[in-house]
Structure 1
Amino acid sequence: METSLTYEKAYQELKQLAHEIEAESVSVDVLAEKVKRASFLIGYCQDKLRSTEKEVNNIIGQMNLGGS
């Protein structure tokens, strides 16, 4: 996984790729490469969101335990 990739960077790149594909500005020669990259970025974003959700839920759980 790319170390300098952040959720925001991945999301912006994904939006750009989607725009290029939808506008049909991508040549057939690179279409598969763009779709493969988009698939990677979608997976990255999903993993990041799941990880953040778990972390937030853990923090909320700790706050609830500490406040009782």
Structure 2
Amino acid sequence: MAESGTENDHGETGELSYDAAKSELDQIVTRLEGDDVGIDELKTLVERARFLVATCKKKIRSVEEEITVLLADVED
């Protein structure tokens, strides 16, 4: 899996959306809760989960900043 994002329907690589990252993270958690994850796959899944968590945090911070700016405009 590429860590920079995902391919869209047109074959272009773009930034992963929050919803897509969260959905993939949920799938990884479900997979990790199973009993059949080998040690090599475990490492790969944890690395991907780490990237997805960072992506979600970045998206949340970005939206928070945008909302702060929008609300500041209203308060003026």
Which of the five TM-score ranges fits, normalised by the shorter chain? 0.7 to 0.9
- In structure 2, runs of 5+ residues without a counterpart are 6-13
Q: Who wins on radius of gyration, i.e. which is larger? A: 1
1:36 matched to 2:47? The reply is yes
Q: Which residue of 45, 48, 66 corresponds with 1:55?
A: 66
User: How far 1:4 moved relative to its partner?
Assistant: 4.1
- Aligned equivalents of 1:63, 1:28: Cα separation in 2: 52
Provide Cα deviations, 1:24-51, integer angstroms capped at 9, x if missing partner: 3322221101000000000000010011
Greater strand proportion: 2
CA RMSD of aligned residues (A): 1.1
TM-score by length of structure 1 reads 0.87
TM-score by length of structure 2 reads 0.79
Match of 1:5, SS? coil
Q: Which amino acid in structure 2 is aligned with residue 48 of structure 1? A: K
Q: How many residues align?
A: 65
Aligned to 2:29: 18
Structure of greater relative contact order (alpha carbons < 8 Å, 6+ residues apart): 1
Q: Which amino acid in structure 2 is aligned with residue 41 of structure 1? A: L
Q: Equivalent pairs: percent with the same residue?
A: 32
- In structure 1, runs of 5+ residues without a counterpart are none
